[in-house]
Homo-oligomer: A and B are copies of this chain.
Amino acid sequence: MDSVTILGLIAGTLTTIAFLPQLFKTWQSKSAKDVSLGMLMIFSTGVFLWLIYGIYLQALPIILANLITLIFNLIILGLKIRYR
């Protein structure tokens, strides 16, 4: 694996696991008042398109990162809708 792909995988790992603290925080506090619903909806849509982009480019870091990021964001979106 070349160094650029490794850099992409590290970048993708960070921008993916970044949503875990938010997910657990919202899960535990049962409060999402300060989290923007618009952000979650627009971001999830964009991440879905990045996933398609990555598939076209056959770029593994882009595919993996955006697939998992999409799952995390949809869970946070669900929690936001539930707890407001």
Residues of A within 8 A of B (CB): 4, 7-8, 10-19, 21-22, 25-26, 29, 31-40, 42-43, 45-47, 49-50, 52-53, 56-57, 61
Contact = CB atoms under 8 A, between A and B. Distances in A.
Contact of A11 (B7, B19, B31, B49): B49
A8 B53 contact: yes
B42 A34 contact: no
A4 to B, nearest CB: 5
Contacts of A26: 34
Nearest to A80: B34
Given A7-B52, A46-B13, A34 B36 contact: no
Contact of A29 (B29, B34, B42): B34
